[in-house]
Structure 1
Amino acid sequence: MNRRQRISFLLLTVLLLGGLLLRPDRLGAQVRAESVAFPGYEEMDGAYHGLLAAANGRVYLGLCTHNGRDDAVLLEYDPTGGRTRLAADLGRATGEKGRPVSTR
């Protein structure tokens, strides 16, 4: 499974579980799922548990990389408009931007 497939799978899981577990009244309801690419973040290969379907209808996705060059980011995805924005650059926030920090 490549990076895009893993991220798509994780996003789908959050959308499904977020819609069903957080809203038991919606059990049996139809769920729409989609595969989303995040241009500019192809090197990010770690999402782990960094997904949240928020009450505002947006999906928050924490991504990091194991390449030792890049940092972790928090993205905000709006599924209704199909827009993604950088919510936080954790390398800048921690002062580690550009430093060879390994996330392993």
Structure 2
Amino acid sequence: MSSDIKIKVQSFGRFLSNMVMPNIGAFIAWGIITALFIPTGWLPNETLAKLVGPMITYLLPLLIGYTGGKLVGGERGGVVGAITTMGVIVGADMPMFLGSMIAGRWAATASRNSITG
């Protein structure tokens, strides 16, 4: 692998990790809620178990999309990334983590380019 390709792959991987790492607390919270409160968990609780699905379907991808947009375009980019990520989430039947990473960044970049000319 040439050094140019290696540098580009590393840069892209660093960008993706910069989207996930600020939200690691939310991932840990989701894992704890799942381990504790689902029907086969340590402390089964129907009411709290209802958090698991919406968190993985909506909350976590939205946080990633917002963070990706914010990395590219600041606060405005974050909002545009979150809105675009919501469209990706609604259009799919499964949690859209990769889709939120791509859509959040892409939408913020497109928004920044169209606003600044």
When normalised by structure 2's length, the TM-score is 0.33
Q: Name the structure where strand makes up a greater proportion of residues.
A: 1
Structure of higher RCO (CA pairs closer than 8 Å, 6+ residues apart): 2
Q: What's the TM-score, normalizing by structure 1? A: 0.36
Whichever structure has more helix as a proportion of its residues is: 2
